[in-house]
Structure 1
Amino acid sequence: MAPRSERQIFRATLELLAARGYEGLTVEGVAERSGVNKTTIYRWWPSKAALLAAALVEADLLVLEPPDTGGLRGDLEALVEGMVALLTRPPASDVAVAALGAAVHHPELAEASRRFFADRFAREAAVFERARRRGELPATADPMLIMDLLAGAVWLRAIFRGLPLDEGFPAQVVSAVLDGSATR
């Protein structure tokens, strides 16, 4: 398949997911919106779940490139700022929420979700490798746990609690994770 057609199909898939949710997403709708015949879509992806899984992993709508600010704290704050933007600004926020909801009920999408987060963590690993080389992070630190704590804070506040994330939130959450919250 031509890269341009694939991008159009993925964009149409994510737009329809954001607008209609998983139940309203159809291969016919994607075909119409992307200008591609539905048999072409079925040739590459056997189901709408497979199509959405590919779109989530391959499309660049939800991509956060790992920053390099020169320090771990700055890199993590920039990552949190990117997550905040993704989870609070349509269409990315609508896609993320709809995909998460659909993954709960569809095993194929749950697997895609795992691949998505594995891919994102592999990209973020460079932040931690640089921090270790600079002596900012001990070898015993668990980068995945750090990212889970940061991302979890963003998801919980923005999506599950529906609270606004002010400009100081990224620094606040990074400080809580890196510095702790209890008095010593």
Structure 2
Amino acid sequence: MAPRKQQEIFDATLWLVAEKGYDGLTVEGVAERSGVNKTTIYRWWPSKAALLGAALVEADVLGFEPPDTGSLRGDLVALVEGVRRLLTEPPASDIAVAALGAAVRHPELDGRRFFVDRFVRERQIFERAVRRGELAGSVDPMLVVDLLAGAVWVRAVFRGLPVSDGFAAEAVSAVLDGVGAG
């Protein structure tokens, strides 16, 4: 399948799940919106769960490249800022919250694939920081990412509060510098 047509299918999938939820998502709806025959979709993805799982990882609208600012602090601030945009700025926020929320409620989607794919890329930030001598090799990169990205998820999605422009720097400082009195 041509990459452009594949992206059209992924976009249609994500938009439909954002508009109608996972239960309202159908392969027929994706076929209609993307202008592809549903048998073509089924040839590549055997179910709507498989299609949505692939779209979460491969769609351009949720695309992710790890930042490389030259410093661990800069990379982490850029990473948190990217998560903030993903979860608060339409259209990505509508799509991400609906699709990833569906993945939590429907294990057949294997939403973990989205997070595994992102973490494989995020890990580069920590590997570079270790090579530069900014970070001990014993630090658990997943814990750091969970603390930082989790803070954005809790603030923006679960609490429904605004995430200020300075939030990324504050969250990274809390993790890297600690929150104690000294």
Q: TM-score, normalised by structure 2?
A: 0.96
2 CA distance for matches of 1:64 and 1:35?
A: 26
Other-structure match for 2:8: 8
TM-fit CA distance, 1:45 = 1.1
Other-structure match for 1:125: 123
Structure 2: segments with no counterpart, 5+ residues: none
Q: Which amino acid aligns with 1:149?
A: L
RMSD: 1.1
* SS of equivalent to 2:173: helix
TM-fit CA distance, 1:26 = 1.1
* Residues 99-130 of structure 1 deviation map (CA, whole Å, 9 limit, x = unaligned): 23212332221x2x111111101111111111
User: 1:99-114 residue pairs with structure 2 within 5 A?
Assistant: 99-109=99-109, 111=110, 113-114=111-112
* SS of equivalent to 1:136: coil
Q: Which amino acid aligns with 1:146?
A: V
| Residues 64, 79 of structure 1: 8 Å contact kept | no
Give the direction of change, closer, same or farther, for the CA distance of 1:45–1:155 in structure 2 (3 Å limit).
same
| Residue 140 of structure 1 pairs with residue 134 of structure 2 | no
Deviant stretches of 4+, over 4 Å: none
2 CA distance for matches of 1:60 and 1:102?
A: 19
* Residues 60-111 of structure 1 deviation map (CA, whole Å, 9 limit, x = unaligned): 22122111111100100000111100000122111221123212332221x2
Instruction: Select between 71-80 and 19-28 the one with higher mean Cα deviation.
Output: 19-28
User: 1:161-176 residue pairs with structure 2 within 5 A?
Assistant: 161-176=159-174
Other-structure match for 1:29: 29
* Residues 7-55 of structure 1 deviation map (CA, whole Å, 9 limit, x = unaligned): 1111111111111111111111110110000111111111111111111
User: 1:48-127 residue pairs with structure 2 within 5 A?
Assistant: 48-109=48-109, 111=110, 113-127=111-125
